[in-house]
């Protein structure tokens, strides 16, 4: 993870910091908002990227059909 790049909170636009969280069976690193406490973990980020990729694929398929 690039330490020089800090994502902004999606809820309040505040600064987020990398923090360690504890899941059911494992520990993981995620992002926590300093202002409102919003937590973004790697699973959430991965799901968003998958959804985004799926939308791009659908768009490409739609263009091919035309």
The contact set with Zn ion (CB under 5 A) reads: 9, 11-12, 14, 33, 35-36, 38
The secondary structure of residue 9, as a DSSP letter, is P
In whole angstroms, how close is the CB of 42 to Zn ion at the nearest point?
A: 18
Task: Give the nearer residue to Zn ion in terms of CB position, either 11 or 52.
Answer: 11
| Ramachandran category for residue 15: left, alpha or beta (phi over 0 → left; psi -120 to 50 → alpha) | beta
Task: Give the nearer residue to Zn ion in terms of CB position, either 7 or 54.
Answer: 7
Task: Give the nearer residue to Zn ion in terms of CB position, either 35 or 53.
Answer: 35
**Both tokens of residue 13?**
């636009």
């Amino acid at each position: 993870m690039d330490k020089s790049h800090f994502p902004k909170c999606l809820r309040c636009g505040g600064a987020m910091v990398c923090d360690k969280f504890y899941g059911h069976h494992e520990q993981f690193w995620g992002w926590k908002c300093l202002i409102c406490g919003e937590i973004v973990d790697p699973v959430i980020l991965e799901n968003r990227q998958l959804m985004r990729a799926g939308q791009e694929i659908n768009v490409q398929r739609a263009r091919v059909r035309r």
